[in-house]
Amino acid sequence: MVLVVVLFFIKSTTTFKNPIDSAQSEQENGITYSNPTLGNLVNKDTDGDGIPDWEESLYGLDPTKKETTPGIPDGVAIEKLKLQQTAGANVQINTVDQTTENLTQTDKFSRELFSTVAAASQNGAMDQTTIDQLSASLTDQIQNSVPRKVYTSADIKTTNNDLFETINNYGNALNNIYIENPMKGSVLDIFQKISPDENTVNTAALAELDPIIKQTDKIIDGMAKMSVPQSFLSLHLDLLNALERLSENLNDIKLLDSDPVVSMGGISQYVKNTDLLDSAVKNLTNAFEQKLNN
């Protein structure tokens, strides 16, 4: 029997571009997500009140409103907060308590950005070189996020039996896991709905990733619980961990609204991890066929 593994994660080079590759092809400095560079991120002011979005978010203000608290311009609120911070006071706006808030990765980056921009501005050093350094910092965060789960040999039940029947049963079990958890739709189609062009982001379509994530997690769970011939353990783990990486990527991409830095990380790593899955499937399939044909 030939091992059948269906690749339902399809990479795209035109939709949700790899931010790192796009940076090299479209901009010599800074990363890109569609068209904006980090310079745009530093200067972006959605509500046009003269305060960058990242600074408003840093102080718990709404970057889409000039007055987060009616009657109090955001600029006035921020100046008061800065004075309070200088005096060592506890900082609060309305019911927002800066000491107990849960920070996203984007919040943490905003704080890093704020402290760096503030220091550079005071020293008169807010130039292109500084923006490039900030860009490198964000790129590093996007490229080097740590996997949340890594399966090892200790997680897998193995058998030393390398007979034809054992290997054939292993291949059938893998196929049955996929058959029992069929994928509906494709990631590429959903990505195209999320970002139909360079100027549009439809975040409502992110929910369509949920069924794929759910089915992928079921496949991962099945693969983690099955018995694996010892000679296939390394290849099995490669496939299992590639699927786990992609599941994490999709979960991160869903955070486009609430935590864009993490979401861009998921987008950036998705292409690489699809390649890893492709390689893992080919290696396992080749090994399976060689064993059965010997």
Asked whether residue 1 is domain-assigned, the answer is no
Domain that holds residue 103: 22-143
Q: Are residues 157 and 289 in the same domain?
A: yes
Boundary residue ending a domain (143, 159, 179):
143
Q: Which of 176-180, 181-185, 266-270, 275-279 has the lowest mean pLDDT?
A: 181-185
CA distance 66 to 47: 6
Q: Are residues 115 and 176 in the same domain?
A: no
Q: Are residues 138 and 154 in the same domain?
A: no
Asked whether residue 47 is domain-assigned, the answer is yes
Q: Are residues 30 and 165 in the same domain?
A: no
* Environment class of 191 (CB within 10 Å of its CB; exposed 0-12, middle 13-18, buried 19+): buried
Q: Are residues 134 and 215 in the same domain?
A: no
Q: Are residues 165 and 289 in the same domain?
A: yes
Q: pTM here?
A: 0.66
Longest distance between any two alpha carbons in the chain, whole Å: 80
Q: Both ends of the chain: CA-CA distance in Å? A: 13
Do 138 and 261 form a contact (C-beta atoms < 8 A)? yes
Q: Are residues 88 and 201 in the same domain?
A: no
Boundary residue ending a domain (143, 161, 189):
143
- Output DSSP code: residue 10: -
- Taking CB atoms within 8 Å and a gap of at least 24, the contacts of 94-97 are 94/68, 94/69, 96/60
CA distance 11 to 14: 9
Which of 59-63, 75-79, 174-178, 241-245 has the highest mean predicted lDDT (pLDDT)?
241-245
Strands 96-97 and 92-93 come out as antiparallel
Asked whether residue 214 is domain-assigned, the answer is yes
Q: Is the pLDDT of residue 199 over 80?
A: no
Q: What band does 125 get if pLDDT is binned at 50, 70 and 90?
A: low
Q: What is the pLDDT of residue 9?
A: 58
Q: Are residues 172 and 261 in the same domain?
A: yes
Number of structural domains the chain divides into: 2
Asked whether residue 3 is domain-assigned, the answer is no
Q: What is the pLDDT of residue 17?
A: 40
Asked whether residue 8 is domain-assigned, the answer is no
Q: Are residues 172 and 283 in the same domain?
A: yes
Q: What is the pLDDT of residue 104?
A: 76
Asked whether residue 207 is domain-assigned, the answer is yes
Would you tell me the crossing angle of helices 209-225 and 233-253 to the nearest 10 degrees? Answer: 160
Q: What is the pLDDT of residue 264?
A: 80
Q: Are residues 164 and 129 in the same domain?
A: no
Asked whether residue 224 is domain-assigned, the answer is yes
Do 130 and 116 form a contact (C-beta atoms < 8 A)? yes
Nearest C-alpha neighbor of 9 from the set 276, 286, 203, 198:
276
CA distance 136 to 41: 13
Boundary residue ending a domain (127, 143, 159):
143
Asked whether residue 91 is domain-assigned, the answer is yes
Q: What is the pLDDT of residue 190?
A: 87
Q: Are residues 49 and 163 in the same domain?
A: no
Query: Which of residues 144 and 195 earns the better pLDDT score?
Result: 195
Q: Are residues 130 and 155 in the same domain?
A: no
